[in-house]
Amino acid sequence: MMPVHTVSEVLDAIQQVKAGSPDFCTNFFPVQKKIQDWIGHEELIAEIRHDAILFFRRDRDFWHLYYCASSKTALYREMATVVELRTEPVVVDIVGKESDASANLKDWASAGFHRYTRLFRMARAVGSGSEQSVGTGLAIEFAGASDSREVFDLLERGFDRYGEQLPLSYEMDAAIQARQVLIARHDQRIAGLLFFETQGFSSTLRFWTVAAEHRALKVGSALMRQYFATQSVVKRFVLWVAADNMNAVQKYGHYGYKPDGLVDYVLVNQMVRS
> How much is the pLDDT for 3?
95
Q: What is the mean pLDDT of residues 9-28?
A: 94
- In a domain? residue 182: yes
pLDDT over 90 at 133, yes or no: no
**134: confidence class by pLDDT, cuts 50, 70, 90:** very low
Q: What is the pLDDT of residues 94-125, one digit of tens each?
A: 999 999 999 999 999 999 999 999 999 999 98
**187: confidence class by pLDDT, cuts 50, 70, 90:** confident
- In a domain? residue 189: yes
Q: Could you tell me if 183 and 141 are in contact, meaning their C-beta atoms sit under 8 angstroms apart?
A: yes
Q: What is the mean pLDDT of residues 261-267?
A: 97
CA 92 – CA 56 distance, rounded (Å): 10
> How much is the pLDDT for 131?
53
> How much is the pLDDT for 222?
94
* pLDDT, the chain, mean: 93
Q: Is 136 in the same domain as 107?
A: no
Q: What is the mean pLDDT of residues 130-138?
A: 55
> How much is the pLDDT for 50?
84
pLDDT over 80 at 255, yes or no: yes
Q: Is 221 in the same domain as 259?
A: yes
Q: What is the CATH number of the domain that holds 224?
A: 3.40.630.30
Q: Is 191 in the same domain as 231?
A: yes
Q: Is 258 in the same domain as 131?
A: yes
CA 194 – CA 229 distance, rounded (Å): 13
Q: Is 249 in the same domain as 150?
A: yes
pTM equals 0.92
Dihedral of the alpha carbons of 21, 27, 33, 34, in degrees to the nearest 10: -140
Q: Is 110 in the same domain as 140?
A: no
Q: What is the pLDDT of residues 47-75, one digit of tens each?
A: 999 899 999 999 999 999 999 999 999 99
CA 67 – CA 263 distance, rounded (Å): 18
**136: confidence class by pLDDT, cuts 50, 70, 90:** low
> How much is the pLDDT for 66?
98
Spatial neighbors of 63 by CB under 8 A, at least 6 apart, are: 56, 57, 84, 88, 89, 90, 91
- Alpha-carbon distance values, 2 to 48, 135, 249 (Å): 9, 55, 41
Domain that holds residue 239: 124-264
Q: Is 26 in the same domain as 111?
A: yes
Q: What percent of the chain has pLDDT over 90?
A: 87
Q: Could you tell me if 171 and 38 are in contact, meaning their C-beta atoms sit under 8 angstroms apart?
A: no
Q: Is 85 in the same domain as 139?
A: no
Q: What is the mean pLDDT of residues 212-217?
A: 82
- In a domain? residue 163: yes
- In a domain? residue 274: no
Number of domains in the chain: 2
Q: Is 95 in the same domain as 185?
A: no
Q: What is the pLDDT of residues 72-95, one digit of tens each?
A: 999 999 999 999 999 999 999 999
CA 248 – CA 137 distance, rounded (Å): 24
pLDDT over 80 at 130, yes or no: no
Q: How are beta strands 62-69 and 90-97 bridged, if at all?
A: parallel
